Amino acid sequence: MSFFLRLIKISILALFSRRRGLLEPSVISLRVWPNDLDLNLHMNNGRYLSLMDLGRVDVMFHSGAFALWFKRGWQPLVAASTVRHFKSLALFQGFEIRTRILGWDEKWVYFEQRFTRRGELYALAGVKALMAGNQRLISTTELFGATGHDLVPSPPLPDWVLAWLKAERGLIDQLKAERQARP
């Protein structure tokens, strides 16, 4: 099944479900189709990243952020992601993607996304994302306010997210140093 057919399915289901709070998880059920497979005949590593988009879109539908995407021309953008695979998903296996917001700062929203099958963890991902529009970045204060959510302090980010962000900062600092060292 193509990404867009899956997106239509999630969109229709969202229309008939209740709005959720920011910290309530999204759970979507999917199945591995032939176009999801790689040469090893299991779900392609890149497909995980594409399907993670669907989980975050579901969060956006249920939080009210999806409407802002179109009304205000805002766009959700991913800056960084990391995925740890534990088991392979095979052809026609059903699975769920559980997406939740772990926390935020003034610029970024941090997500956790879990691929599970029958309660067993197949992959775990972290995503750092923001909303942008009209040639500017949208602060989380503005984003949450526009969706009608009171901005409360972010829950503390898990240690693994903090370590990941520190490693990302080190990578960015290395790239800046390389650019400055060029003649």
pLDDT digits (tens, 9 = 90+) for 78-135: 999 999 999 999 999 999 999 999 999 999 999 999 999 999 999 999 999 999 998 8
pLDDT at 56: 94
Please compute the mean of the pLDDT values over residues 155-166 and round it to a whole number.
96
Using an 8 Å Cβ cutoff, are 81 and 3 in contact?
Answer: no
CB-based contact 32:90 (threshold 8 Å): yes
Q: Is the per-residue pLDDT at 157 higher than 90?
A: yes
Q: Which of 44, 9, 14 is nearest to 30 (CA)?
A: 9
Kindly tell me if the per-residue pLDDT of 18 is higher than 90.
no
Confidence of residue 1 (pLDDT cuts 50, 70, 90): low
Looking at the chain, the whole-number percentage of residues with pLDDT higher than 90 is 70
Within 8 A by CB and 6+ apart from 36, the residues are 43, 44, 47, 89
- Which tokens in the block code for residue 29? 């059920």
Q: Amino acid identity of 34?
A: P
pLDDT in the model for residue 52: 97
Task: List the domain boundaries for the chain.
Answer: 3-155
Three-state secondary-structure class, residue 84: strand
Can you tell me the mean pLDDT for 34-58?
94
- What pLDDT was estimated at residue 119? 96
Compute CA 72 distance to the chain's CA centroid, rounded to the nearest angstrom.
Answer: 21
Per-residue pLDDT tens over the stretch 68-77:
777 888 899 9
At residue 21, the pLDDT reads: 77
Domain 3-155 in CATH 3.30.1540.10: no
**Residue in the block written with tokens 């939740």:** 100
Q: What is the mean pLDDT of residues 35-46?
A: 94
Tell me the helix, strand and coil percentages in the chain, rounded to 5.
40, 30, 30
- In total, the chain counts a number of residues equal to 183
120: left (phi over 0), alpha (psi -120 to 50) or beta: beta
- How far apart (Å, rounded) are the C-alpha atoms in residues 121 and 84? 10
Within 10 angstroms of residue 90's Cβ, the number of other Cβ atoms is 13
Residue 127 sits at the vertex; the CA angle it makes with 114 and 119, to the nearest 5 degrees, is 5
The pTM is what? 0.91
